[in-house]
Amino acid sequence: MQVEQIAVFLENKSGRLAEITSILAENDINIRALSVADTADFGILRLIVNDVTKAQAVLKKGGFTVSKTDVIAVAVPDRVGGLAEVLRAVTEGGYNVEYMYAYAHRADGSAVMIFRFDAMADAVAMLKDKGFALVSSREICAT
């Protein structure tokens, strides 16, 4: 079970994040999770939104370079060592975490981590086999 994420490449200058979030808001697109990574010259904004197709279209129309990527959302026990358990399983499975970021706390007592692995389908199978709950796009985008 994979979740679609969009990545937006932007110049590292004042106002660019505000411009993106304004475009999304004006088009009734809800941001559910995000991560920003930057260098001196550019940044990558990774977003999970309630309407990936529409977000891609309106951001491209606004002049941004946008791509779509699959990631995995894993429910992690919200307690000491919860994330360590997931990462131990990932390491034992031989998978490389390309990047990860957190999503908001859920009512069931778990947090959610968003992962991008070097071997996505195999990592999904391994996580399921180890008993970790994967979270769907629908669950993430539920309001």
Q: What is the pLDDT of residue 143?
A: 52
Instruction: Delineate the domains of the chain, giving CATH numbers in brackets.
Output: 3-70 (3.30.2130.10), 71-141 (3.30.2130.10)
What is the phi/psi pair of residue 16, to 5°? -70, -40
> Whole-model pTM?
0.81
Q: Which residue do the tokens 């919860």 mark?
A: 82
Q: What is the pLDDT of residue 4?
A: 94
> Could you tell me the mean pLDDT of each successive run of 10 residues in the chain, 143 residues long?
91 87 96 86 91 97 95 88 93 94 71 84 91 84 66
